[in-house]
Amino acid sequence: MDRVGQLDPGSHREVSTPTQVVDHSALKVNQTGIIVTVLVAFIGSAVFRPLLVLIPLLAIVLLLGTFAPQLALFKQLYFKVLKPRGIVKARPVQDRPEPHNFAQGLGGVFLAVASIFLIPLPVVGLALSLLVAVLAFVNLAFGYCLGCQIFFQLERRGFIRA
């Protein structure tokens, strides 16, 4: 395992944190799955309201995948279907998986909260769902992961440990 430098919050000196190889193509497929699912639920629910059930189902998929990677639906689609068939090529990067898992879990929490609002206040539920999709798009298109940044800030302040 390689190590990547970070600043120790107390002393402002660099400390080492372990990295491993993370396939960023799996992350991109996951982000695409989030975006597509939310958009299908959002747009489709205008015609067929039961499609809103995709939001709580997506929350479950993201939360399960956060704690049990073998249950991460979109990543498994990548590893078992897309990558072996050469549809999507691997993009291995020395990285830490924890910030990405945290970001996925945070998206799952926001979608769970959105799901609670879908019945009494559908506008709020859909707005929270679209926020998750927009942040997934920003990560997919521009490589900026807000959930990862939150992870790093919480870690730097000692609230979480990798």
The C-alpha atoms of residue 121 and residue 123 are separated, in whole angstroms, by: 5
What integer pLDDT is reported at residue 18 of this predicted model?
80
Predicted confidence at residue 1, as pLDDT, reads 43
The gap between the terminal CA atoms of the chain, to the nearest Å, is: 14
pLDDT in the model for residue 9: 45
Which class for 97: exposed (0-12), middle (13-18), buried (19 or more C-beta within 10 A)? Answer: middle
Which residues does 91 contact at the CB level (< 8 Å), separation at least 6? 23, 24, 25, 28
Give domain limits for the chain. Answer: 23-156
Give this prediction's pTM: 0.88
pLDDT of residue 12: 44
Amino acid at 23: D
Report phi then psi at 62, rounded to 5.
Answer: -65, -45
For residue 5, the model assigns a pLDDT of: 46
**How would you write the pLDDT of the chain (162 residues) with one tens digit per residue?**
444 444 444 444 444 568 899 999 999 999 999 999 999 999 999 999 999 999 999 999 999 999 998 999 999 999 999 999 999 999 999 999 999 999 999 999 999 999 999 999 999 999 999 999 999 999 999 999 999 999 999 999 999 987
